[in-house]
Structure 1
Amino acid sequence: MTKNDFARKSQVDNGLIDLYSKVGWIVNAIKVFKEVDDPDLEGLECFCDTQRARVKLDNCIFLYTIIACLNFSSPSQGKQMHGKTIKIESPRNQIPVDNALVSMYAKCGNLKDANMLFEMMHQRNMVSFNTMITPYAQHGFGLEELELFKVILDIENEPTNIMFILVLSTRSRTRKVDEGWKYFDSMRQKYDIELEEEHYSCMIYLLAYNVKFKKRAETIIIQILQRSYYKIDSA
């Protein structure tokens, strides 16, 4: 049954978890829970069954449970999971677990706890930075977003395509033309990142409000037209 596509449906997965939990086959319940693509509330309840059975938990289980809390915007359950992760000593998957917790707090609008957890992380990857930068941009914390972006550049990490969209978008909203243009130029010249329509749109929005930069805006528009022509001609 596990080889059949239908077996991967959440109802079947949750049913198996529930069945295994009730008959005491906790190891099997955990195995299925780890393989669930999109754990839902029923899966979260089944996790509680495995906990009551005093099964030793690891970060892999916590990761999927936190994702379930994210799907249901359940900060109370998420905080409980956060507390439990602190009690166990399991370095495996620690960064993904912390990233999921930061994302959970940020999604619930609790940027204070999200930032506190982010600062406490012993190790971070680019997902960690992106997870924290995104809510800063969404909630209008442009200064905090830029400072975090500078940290990424200072530690010589390669910023992502998405990060530049967020940063350029914030610069366009705050009319920081010089900063926006600097980051826009650095994408190709320093980081060899291909410019997408979203990057061009942010720059046009930024430059359109300042007559001083009219020629720069026209240059970008020409680049967009050339890019579109190349795509059509290549097709």
Structure 2
Amino acid sequence: MYSELDCIDYARQVFDKIPRRTIYVWNAILRALTLAGYGVDALGLYREMNRIGMPCDRFTHTYAIKACVVSESITTSLLEKGKEIHGRILRHGYETHVHIMTTLLDMYAKFGNVSYASYIFDGMPDKNVVSWSAMIACYAKNERPLEALNLFHEMVYEISDLSPNSVTMVNVLQACAALAALEQGRMMHCYILRRNLDSILPVTSALMTMYSRCGKLEVTQKIFDQMDKRDVVSWNTLISSYGIHGFGMKAVRVFEEMLSRGIKPSAISFVSVLGACSHAGLADMGKRLFDSMTEQHGISPSVEHYACLVDLLGRANRIKEAAKVIEEMKIKPGPKVWGSLLGSCKIHGNVELAERASTQLFKLEPANAGNYVLLADIYAEAGMWYEVKRVKQLLEAQGLQKVFGRSWIEVRRKIYSFMSVDELNPQIELIHALLAEFSEEMKQQGYTPRTELVLYDLEEKEKERILLGHSEKLAVGFGLINTRKGETIRITKNLRLCEDCHTMTKFISRFTGREIMVRDVNRIHHFRDGVCSCGDYW
């Protein structure tokens, strides 16, 4: 009873006073602690159960698995505890129990351990819709959207006695959004309508996100307008949708309308609206909204909020002010905060603060190669080639590898993937010839390839070849060859769009009369008639 009323302290006191505890009593306290987010405490009791020889049942193991991933910070030590529980589950013969194995799969997914999750899924003799949904979610949330879509199609077309539910559809829509796969997303929308799932709020919000990530902001707004009821998640989705497209003031107006209708903003509401202000360069507006969190809404800023504030100040070239925010933070700045500062230093070429931010990031995220690469890029643009070499040596000494650029494009409902300097596509010679033609035409109009972005000691011609082999350029070339004249080309990239690709895509949009949409890790770029919607500010 106390646990249902969120009185965990009282529940624990009652538990401690029970002299003879049955398995039902142990399971009750484990469930209460896990649901309340006290994962470490729950795991301590689970360990105590095993120490005193209390037999565990399927519920005990399920709560213990969930306890590993309910804490705010998911650490390596918690993963190790999860693996220990996995071992006990196998020793006690629960490997054929669908619910336990699905919970275990979900645990590994939340740790980002896709290979373990996939191994468990493949080894399950029986799978239900929850199992399939959990594996689809694992792929979708761990940057494997193509695998998520493929698994969904396998579920629908090969498993006749299973029907995707609302949770399945939310996860598969997330995969469509990640790939900017508009045609696939439309198919999912049709399925949702046929199954009468469109009245379920999480599904509707996922639909809004999918359409906005595919560049169809007007459809996102239409879905929102047609909703019979809306929760704060619906409003947050609309705010962030306008934000990533660069419509900062529109996002702020939606936020203000939400407040006027009596909807209490959540912490995510402020992440969404601050992000929108950042993309649109609305630094002063963003600062006022940040201050209003505590003053008007009683929300204490988290690391994510500070990261947004640092980002919006940094992008507006108020980098010293951003650095001062970090110095005066009431909580410890994490990788997101320092990463925002480093990203701003890349935009504005501030070497001094970049070195300061990267020093912190190397301590906090020693295995994140992206931080080393970003610092090397900053040095390269400043012409500091000795420092570029030093950072590259440091990267190699750590045994780290740069994350390679990868882009996706959907053509006639099929997803095509391109890696940088990709030679596997059967049309690669046609693509290279087309891009080389564009490059020569651009040079005649004053274009100079940004070869300083290539951090290798190579001849200029070889550097130009590498630039032309960037994954987003290959995807654009493929799209031009394989789509109808006048059709919008939609591309997703796993990294920030580089300056050279941005310049060339602007030219291609003017030269071909095509609209090209590219979504990178920061925002959505709409290229039309030689102009990008970001205003060259990303």
Q: Given the two structures, how large is their TM-score scaled by the length of structure 2? A: 0.35
2:90 aligns with one of 86, 92, 98? 86
Shift of 1:110: 1.0
Give the match for residue 9 of structure 1: 7
Residues 102, 118 of structure 1: 8 Å contact kept = yes
Deviation track 1:81-113 (CA, whole Å, cap 9, x = no partner) reads 111111113589x32211221111111111111
- For residues 128-143 of structure 1, the aligned pairs below 5 Å read 128-143=131-146
Greater mean alpha carbon deviation, residues 164-173 or residues 137-146: 164-173
Identify the residue that residue 347 of structure 2 maps to in structure 1.
none
| Contact in 2 for aligned 1:168/1:199 (Cα 8 Å) | yes
In the alignment, which residue of structure 1 is the partner of 2:279? none
C-alpha displacement of 1:194: 1.6
Partner of 1:163: 168
Kept in 1: contact 2:137–2:171 (CA 8 A): yes
2:80 to 71, 76, 83: 76
**In the alignment, is residue 206 of structure 1 matched against residue 211 of structure 2?**
no
Number of residue equivalences: 213
Letter in 2 for 1:76: E
User: Is 1:227 paired with 2:232?
Assistant: no
CA distance in 2, matches of 1:145, 1:125: 16
CA RMSD of aligned residues (A): 3.1
Contact residue 58 and residue 90 of structure 1 kept, 8 A: no
- Higher RCO (C-alpha under 8 Å, 6+ residues apart): 1
Structure 1 pair 17/98, CA: closer, same or farther in 2 (3 Å)?
farther
What is the alpha-carbon distance in structure 1 between the residues aligned to residue 3 and residue 11 of structure 2?
12
CA 1:139–1:17: 2 relative to 1, 3 Å:
same
Letter of the 1:78 partner, please give it.
Answer: G
**C-alpha distance after superposition, 1:103-158 (max 9, x if no partner):** 11111111111111111122222222222222311222012101211122121322
CA distance in 1, matches of 2:223, 2:56: 52
Decide which structure has greater strand share.
Answer: 2
Q: Does 1:61 align with 2:66?
A: no
Q: Is residue 33 from structure 1 mapped to residue 26 from structure 2 by the alignment?
A: yes
Deviation at 1:221, TM superposition (A): 6.1
SS in 2 for 1:71: coil
More helix by share: 1
Is the contact between residue 208 and residue 224 of structure 2 (CA under 8 Å) also seen in structure 1? Answer: no
Letter in 2 for 1:198: A
- The answer to whether the aligner puts 1:44 opposite 2:43 as a matched pair is yes
Distance in 2 between residues matched to 1:119 and 1:43, nearest whole Å: 29
Identity of aligned residues (%): 21
Per-residue deviation at 1:197?
4.2
Moved more, 10-19 or 103-112: 10-19
Match of 2:260 in 1: none
Preserved contact between residue 145 and residue 178 of structure 2 (Cα < 8 Å): no
Q: Which runs of 5+ in 2 are unaligned?
A: 231-538
For 1:182, the equivalent position in structure 2 comes to: 187
TM-score (norm 1): 0.75
1:97 aligns with 2:80: no
Q: Which runs of at least 4 in structure 1 moved beyond 4 Å after TM superposition? A: 3-8, 15-20
Maintained 8 Å contact 2:43/2:64: yes
Residues in 2 aligned to 1:16 and 1:47: alpha-carbon distance in whole angstroms: 17
Higher Cα Rg, which structure: 2
Deviations 1:44-76 (A, max 9, x none): 222222212223221111111112222243111
User: 1:26: how far off?
Assistant: 4.5
**Counterpart position of 2:494:** none
